A and B are shown apart, each in its own frame.
Chain A
């Protein structure tokens, strides 16, 4: 069965600094990897996905993620954080046979 881990419950960065939210996964076969963001009292919003191709995936709001097969990681990154990026971020994985499995989430706080 597939699984995903987000090792950090909380990430704090200063506005304007780069940010990284970590995600590692375990799946049989080729993974399909996703990042979602959740703002308070709202559903999850899709940010980006990796299916195949380039290891660096660009998504919404200036976010990108790097797929690393050897390290089974899919870390979310942004070169310059904004206060408005403060939210809960979820990594998710699925393989061809299984439904989406989400990580426990990482709360990102960007301080002015």
Chain B
């Protein structure tokens, strides 16, 4: 069974440029998460999707960050414009059952973003 796929694995951009990350969850997983992981820290949730609906985006900085999961399968996270402080690893995860259940999340390898 394929795991969570993320691309690109690494991205280097200059500040004020746009950037997008893509995630394809495990087949059949209807819950998808985007996390931000700063160096030396644990992941912090940015947004959670149940199918195509964003059910928790309270931690997403909406002035520059946006996300979509149009068909309830793969998802894209965008930053426009990027700032120096956005340098981090962006992790995507998926799980089998909706929020409120206690199933574990499966993580992708992440995209390491460097903003110069």
Closest residue of chain B to A43 (Cβ to Cβ) is: B107
Q: Which of B41, B48, B100, B104 contacts A34 (CB 8 A)?
A: B104
Q: Bound complex: CA of A41 vs CA of B42, how far in Å? A: 14
B25 within 8 A of A: no
List residues of chain B with CB within 8 A of the CB of A99. Answer: 33, 45, 48, 56, 99
Q: Which of A32, A42, A94, A103 contacts B109 (CB 8 A)?
A: A42
List residues of chain B with CB within 8 A of the CB of A49. Answer: 102, 104
Q: Which of B48, B91, B99, B104 contacts A43 (CB 8 A)?
A: B91
B61 within 8 A of A: no
B40 within 8 A of A: yes
Take A49-B102, A99-B48 as given contacts and tell me if A44 and B40 are in contact as well, using a CB distance cutoff of 8 Å: no
- Contact present for A46 and B106 (CB under 8 Å): yes
Q: Bound complex: CA of A45 vs CA of B99, how far in Å? A: 19
Take A43-B4, A99-B48, A99-B56 as given contacts and tell me if A105 and B42 are in contact as well, using a CB distance cutoff of 8 Å: yes
Q: Which of A42, A46, A94, A102 contacts B44 (CB 8 A)?
A: A102
List residues of chain B with CB within 8 A of the CB of A67. Answer: none
Q: Which of B4, B40, B105, B108 contacts A100 (CB 8 A)?
A: B105
Take A43-B107, A44-B107 as given contacts and tell me if A104 and B41 are in contact as well, using a CB distance cutoff of 8 Å: yes
Q: What is the number of residues of chain B that contact chain A, defined by CB distance less than 8 Å?
A: 24
List residues of chain A with CB within 8 A of the CB of B102. Answer: 32, 49, 51, 94
B residues sitting closer than 8 Å to A (CB atoms) are 4, 6, 33, 40-45, 48, 56, 91, 93, 99-100, 102, 104-110, 112
| 3 A-B pairs closest in CB distance | A102-B42, A43-B107, A46-B104
Besides the known contacts A46-B104, A102-B42, A103-B42, 11 further A-B residue pairs in the complex with CB atoms under 8 A apart: A36-B107, A41-B112, A43-B91, A46-B106, A94-B102, A99-B33, A99-B45, A99-B56, A99-B99, A102-B44, A104-B40
Q: Could you jot down 19 A-B contacts, CB within 8 Å?
A: A34-B104, A36-B107, A43-B93, A43-B109, A44-B93, A46-B104, A46-B105, A49-B102, A49-B104, A51-B102, A92-B42, A99-B33, A99-B45, A102-B43, A104-B40, A104-B42, A105-B40, A105-B41, A105-B42
